[in-house]
Every structure is written in C-alpha cells, then in structure tokens.
Amino acid sequence: MNGNDPSHLHGEIVEERIEFTLVELCRITGASRDDFARWVEEGAFEPQGAGVEEWRFSGTCLGRAITAQRLKTDLELNAPGVALALDLLDQIDALRKRLARFGDRGETHDGS
C-alpha cells in the first residue's frame, strides 16, 4: 500500500483526554445541534455538562460522531436507528477484539 492508493487512509489518534464542545463536533462532522441532541436523548452519546451549552464530549466520541453522521446521511437513519446501529457496531467491535484476544480456534460450543 502506498500513499497514492485511494484505499489507503490517513488519520490521527485522538486521545481520550481531549474534549470537544458541541459546536466543535458539529463543525467537524457536519451534524446539527438538533442531531446531537436527539442522539444524546437516544443514549448514543453521554456528554459531560449540565446543559447543551456546557456539553463536552471525550476525544473517543469523535469517531463515533463521524459514524453517526454517516449513518444519518448515507443510510438515512433516524435518531433511534443511529443509536441502535452504533450500539451494534460497538458489540461487533467488542466481539472482534475478544476473538483476536482468544484466537479463532475453529471450535464450536458443542465441542466439534
């Protein structure tokens, strides 16, 4: 893979210590304040802060927010659909990590 390959992605790791305001996440992702308010209401995000104006999102929310916006625009999902899809993607990621940790031994639950 080289830098000219269109499938080659460049990115930066955002640390968990970094925080984003709602305005910053809206600017980065293209999502609206209303989108984020609905996603928070559905449990897709858990910002720190008492009110919308005080909300702070951890650095790890950035990738999730980008994914949420893509789910909304590309798949035309509503807020409950975005929350569900993000939850399912989290579960898939957790299962992949678990599989990588324990290795794929080709075993099934019935012992075969």
Establish if 2 belongs to a structural domain: no
Residue 11 above 70 pLDDT?
Answer: no
Which pLDDT does position 80 carry in this prediction?
98
Establish if 77 belongs to a structural domain: yes
Establish if 29 belongs to a structural domain: yes
Which pLDDT does position 1 carry in this prediction?
45
Number of separate domains in the chain: 1
Q: What is the mean pLDDT of residues 46-69?
A: 94
How far apart, in whole angstroms, are the C-alpha atoms of residue 87 and residue 45? 11
Residue 63 above 70 pLDDT?
Answer: yes
Establish if 9 belongs to a structural domain: no
Establish if 63 belongs to a structural domain: yes
Question: Residue 75: which CATH number?
Answer: 1.10.1660.10
pLDDT in tens, 18-54: 899 999 999 999 999 999 999 999 999 999 998 999 9
Per the structure, the complete domain to which residue 39 belongs is given by: 19-101
Task: Report CA Rg, the chain.
Answer: 17
Q: What is the mean pLDDT of residues 63-83?
A: 97
pLDDT band at 17 (very low <50, low <70, confident <90, very high): confident
Establish if 111 belongs to a structural domain: no
CA-based nearest residue to 40, from 19, 27, 28, 25: 25
Establish if 5 belongs to a structural domain: no
Establish if 80 belongs to a structural domain: yes
Q: How far is CA 61 from CA 8, 19, 22, 89, 101, in A?
A: 23, 9, 11, 14, 24
pLDDT band at 67 (very low <50, low <70, confident <90, very high): very high
